[in-house]
Amino acid sequence: MASPLLLLLLLLHYSEAEPAGSPESPNPFTERAAFIRYWNRKVPNNLPHPSFFLSKLTPLSAPDAAKFSSLAPSNLSSLLPKFCAAAALLCPLSPSLSSHTRGSPFSSYENGNFTNYDTNAAGGRSSFSNYSENFVLANDHFRRYGRDSVGHDDDFSSYGPNGNLVTTNFTSYGTKTAGAADNFTSYARSANVPDLGFSNYAAESSGRDALFSQYSDDANSGDQSFSGYGKNGNGAVADFVTYANNSNTIGNTFKNYGEEGKGNGQTFASYGQNGNVPENSFRSYGSGTHGGFDQFIAYRDQSNVGDDSFTSYEKGGNDGSALFTNYGNSSNPGSESFKSYGQRSSNDHIIFKEYFADDTSFKVYPKSGVDFKEYYNSTSSSTTMANRWVEDGKFFREKSLRKGTIMPMPDIRDRMPPRAFLPRSIAGKIPFSSAAVTEIFLIPPDSAMGNAMESTMADCDRTPSRGETKRCITSAEDMIDFAVSVLGNNIAVRSTSNTMGSKGEILIGDVKGVNGGNVTESVSCHQSLFPYLVYYCHSVPHVRVYQAEILAVESREKINQGTAICHLDTSDWGPTHGAFLALGPGPGKIELPPLVASAALHKAGQLSVETQRIARKTVRSASYTPFYPSHRVQSTTTPTSMGVKSPLPSSQLFRIARSSATRCVFSPNLLRSGWRGNHPRSIGIHATGGSASPDGTVLKESENAASAIDFLTLCRRLKTTKRKGWINHGIKGPESIADHMYRMALMALIAGDLPGVNRERCIKIAIVHDIAEAIVGDITPSDGVPKAEKSRREQTALNEMCEILGGIRAEEIKELWAEYENNSSIEASLVKDFDKVELILQALEYEMEHEKVLDEFFISTTGKFQTDVGKSWAAEVTSRRNRRQAKINSNHMKEIW
């Protein structure tokens, strides 16, 4: 009787580009061919070799592999650039030095050292749009921007967004400037494993307005610091809107804000809001100030556990006014310390409105001149488990894996930097230690990559959990050997077939239990951050594995074949594991099946979950943390930012409701090492009504009820999809896309008669201008999708929707949408203005309703209105906002006095 077949479920996410070449080479003298022969000897079951696994193999030729092997380990660094390029590895880039003087126009600059930009400018305006966008392993330094300028406006739009393993430092911005304004919009937003530094912003400025909108929001797992903001300012206005909001496992240090200022007005709106397991240190705010007004609105509001320290606020102030609105109102309390408030201040008027922490006393604060409005500790405040940090649907119960169940699916695309395995002949000679690898690959020890490697080594050195068999492997041959040692030599790899269904709702079709649905064994391998591919492979007992059809919710067509593994014993998992936050009740009380987005090794009829192990300081449970393909616990869809972001083709977004995706993964092929290679397969919406020629052209008008109802059913998503900009800013119960479009249509209806403007056409354009978002969702600048790509996705989605509707009405919708998109008529220009007016009006309403500061929306629309009506209505909204803000400031001053 044949022995049972074992499955290896390797945890690789799908990627858009393969780092290690194409399918099996017929050349028998390649490293790839040598590995396949090794595989066949170790696993003689004649099963096919999965392409997603082979795509990770080294691209080195046999002669090159022999050459580099002879140099390993001590002499590899002498040929590092050639070695990294030939072997498809992740190696540090060599930055270049650049210096640019006044008048140099910049829209984009990438990866390097930038010495000087726009020093000694007088009058006018400078704008720097993009610096090192979407870079992997960036190592950037920007030394000086806008120093000693007078009456000159400086704008810096974006520095280092969407980077992966980013090491950056911005030394000086707006030092010794006078008059006019500084505006830094975004610094290192959505960075993954960052190591960030900003030394000085608007130091020694006089009579100048300084605004820093976003610093490292939505960042994941790293460290960042800001050394000085507005130091020695005189009569200046310094506002900092958000710092490290919505970040995950980030170490934050802010050393000085507004130090030694004279007569300044300073507001820090939000620091570390909605953070997950943060390590925050704020050294000094408003130290040694004279006169002026300082305000700190929120510090670590709604954060989840972590460690926080605030050293001093308004130390040594003189004749000033200070207001601290909210400190430490966490969703789950962590370790919090506020050391001193108003120490050695003289004639200051200081108000502390709300303080939430277990630390029930300030170490130092004055006995007079300070008013504490409300003081809480965490035991008296109502807090709940921060299950918002777990993606919706990441975990589910075994009973949910039934035919007919609708559930969210995670984003299973590869977010890790592309790399290949090293041949064992080379990997085996490199000592597996961070010190050795750092030396060979010339990685700075305190860089983002250096920190990531340290975290990988810590994972590998961790003591196995009860019943766990684990090993970190550094070559494809090692993975095969480990799997065979655990499961025997009759093994297979399974993973989810493709990425279709990612980040949307799916319908479960037929479900089959592997090994008859009985308890089985498997090996799962999780990708780690290292210059070459390293996997954390382990086997855990007590699992059941299933294969399930994945169907589109509305068409019920099969779009994918998924693999799910159910962990039956969770007794060793920590009580704050994301699974229990999402599902309850606690360790050992429930089983947990995640969907497998990758491949893994198992016994016959088994599947396993793949994860990408991203280096980070994650608070772990007592045992390993499975199911997180990127180990990112997050409250929004972004992963944020994991690894290199490659936009999902719009065809893969069709028929997907916008919901967070579970990190349980679907996995495709059967083979012995389980990785998810590059299998991006697009999906499309099939028209259900109308008549079309073979090339898709509509031949006749479709007036039947089926076409209309199918189209309207699809448009329902406009009612249920919330506008992402508001979600990103923490607005509860935000407006939907349809809400936004409806009020725009009302604007078109009530606007006064304008010469040459067709009111009815304006209404129609307003109704259809965002209609494609029923499929692609609300794509915002924070998603990092280029404008051209966004337009392409929406155009494709619109075509699919109109194909469903069919007829002349579909053609009219296309025409109206294109008119708006191209801004090709006065009606289109007017509706574009209505779009912006509705945005800022809604922002004002949310500011009033939620007591938030939503400057970003007003800044982004300033100066962009095209028509007199748009300019007039926008001015009215802005005027009302300014009057409201003036009243708030006046009331604050009255409270203080």
CATH number for the domain spanning 813: value is 1.10.3210.10
**Cβ proximity of 336 and 358 under 8 Å:** yes
pLDDT number for residue 675: 26
pLDDT number for residue 878: 92
pLDDT number for residue 174: 72
Is 547 within the bounds of a domain? no
pLDDT at 536 over 80: yes
The structure tokens 């007829």 sit at 807
Q: What would the pLDDT profile of 616-648 be if each residue is shown by its tens digit?
A: 222 222 222 222 222 222 222 222 222 322 222
Is 146 within the bounds of a domain? yes
User: How many Å apart are CA 847 and CA 832, to the nearest integer?
Assistant: 23
Using 50, 70 and 90 to split pLDDT, how confident is the model at 814? very high
pLDDT number for residue 418: 83
Q: What would the pLDDT profile of 285-311 be if each residue is shown by its tens digit?
A: 767 777 666 777 777 777 776 777 777
Is 95 within the bounds of a domain? no
pLDDT, mean of residues 92-108: 47
**Structural domain total, the chain:** 2
Using 50, 70 and 90 to split pLDDT, how confident is the model at 519? confident
**Cβ proximity of 487 and 45 under 8 Å:** no
Instruction: Map residue 874 onto helix, strand or coil.
Output: helix
pLDDT at 605 over 70: no
**Cβ proximity of 522 and 606 under 8 Å:** yes
Is 701 within the bounds of a domain? yes
Packing angle between helix 807-822 and helix 759-768, nearest 10 degrees? 90
Last residue of some domain: 385, 408, 428?
385
Output the CA–CA distances (angstroms, integers) from residue 717 to 659, 678, 771, in the order listed.
Answer: 11, 30, 10
pLDDT number for residue 840: 95
Task: Give, rounded to a whole angstrom, the gap between the first and last alpha carbons of the chain.
Answer: 90
pLDDT at 783 over 60: yes
User: How many Å apart are CA 131 and CA 108, to the nearest integer?
Assistant: 6
User: How many Å apart are CA 12 and CA 415, to the nearest integer?
Assistant: 10
**Cβ proximity of 363 and 384 under 8 Å:** no
pLDDT, mean of residues 878-892: 85
Using 50, 70 and 90 to split pLDDT, how confident is the model at 246? confident
Nearest to 363 by CA among 329, 318, 312: 312
pLDDT number for residue 354: 65
φ, ψ for residue 363, nearest 5 deg: -65, -45
Last residue of some domain: 352, 385, 418?
385
The residues, ordered by sequence, that sit 6+ positions from 507 with a Cβ below 8 Å of its Cβ are 404, 405, 406, 550, 551, 552, 553, 556
Phi-psi region at 588: left, alpha or beta (left = phi > 0; alpha = psi -120 to 50): left
Is 79 within the bounds of a domain? no
Instruction: Map residue 284 onto helix, strand or coil.
Output: strand
**Cβ proximity of 454 and 615 under 8 Å:** yes
Using 50, 70 and 90 to split pLDDT, how confident is the model at 584? low
User: How many Å apart are CA 371 and CA 895, to the nearest integer?
Assistant: 10
Q: Where are the beta strands (DSSP E) in 594-682?
A: 595-596, 600-602, 612-613
φ, ψ for residue 19, nearest 5 deg: -80, -20
> What string of H, E and C letters represents the secondary structure of 786-797?
CHHHHHHHHHHH
The residues, ordered by sequence, that sit 6+ positions from 335 with a Cβ below 8 Å of its Cβ are 306, 307, 308
User: How many Å apart are CA 179 and CA 121, to the nearest integer?
Assistant: 12
Mean pLDDT (the chain) is 71
What share of the chain has pLDDT > 90, as a percent?
A: 19
pLDDT at 784 over 60: yes
- Return the amino acid letter for 439: E
Neighbours of 802 (CB within 10 A): 23
CA dihedral 83, 86, 91, 92 (to 10 degrees): 80
Last residue of some domain: 385, 414, 446?
385
Is 296 within the bounds of a domain? yes
| Predicted structure pTM score | 0.51
Nearest to 833 by CA among 738, 884, 720, 757: 757
φ, ψ for residue 753, nearest 5 deg: -60, 130
φ, ψ for residue 776, nearest 5 deg: -85, -15
Q: What would the pLDDT profile of 411-470 be if each residue is shown by its tens digit?
A: 777 667 788 999 999 999 999 988 888 889 888 777 777 878 888 888 888 888 878 889
pLDDT at 265 over 60: yes
> What string of H, E and C letters represents the secondary structure of 432-462?
CCHHHHHHHCCCCCCCHHHHHHHHHHHHHHC
> What string of H, E and C letters represents the secondary structure of 306-341?
CEEEEEEECCCCECCEEEEEEECCCCECCEEEEEEE
pLDDT, mean of residues 755-762: 90
pLDDT at 172 over 50: yes
- Return the amino acid letter for 314: E
Compare 654 and 269 and report the one with higher pLDDT.
Answer: 269
534-539/307-313 β-pairing: unpaired
Domain of 831 in residue numbering reads as: 691-888
Using 50, 70 and 90 to split pLDDT, how confident is the model at 31? confident
> What string of H, E and C letters represents the secondary structure of 517-563?
HCCECEEEEEEECCCCCEEEEEECCCEEEEEEEEECCCCCCEEEEEE
Is 143 within the bounds of a domain? yes
User: How many Å apart are CA 406 and CA 630, to the nearest integer?
Assistant: 24
Dihedral sign for Cα 734, 739, 744, 748, please: negative
522-528/600-602 β-pairing: antiparallel
Is 223 within the bounds of a domain? yes
Token output for 484: 């065979």
User: How many Å apart are CA 550 and CA 409, to the nearest integer?
Assistant: 10
The residues, ordered by sequence, that sit 6+ positions from 876 with a Cβ below 8 Å of its Cβ are none
Measure the CA angle with vertex 406, ends 405 and 407; round to 5°. Answer: 110
Compare 710 and 189 and report the one with higher pLDDT.
Answer: 710
- How many residues are given for the chain? 897
pLDDT, mean of residues 697-705: 46
What does the DSSP assignment read for 697-739?
-EEE----HHHHHHHHHHHTHHHHPBPHHHHHTT-SSPPBHHH
- Return the amino acid letter for 698: V
Give kind and range of the element (H or E) at residue 73.
Answer: none
pLDDT, mean of residues 869-875: 94
pLDDT number for residue 897: 55
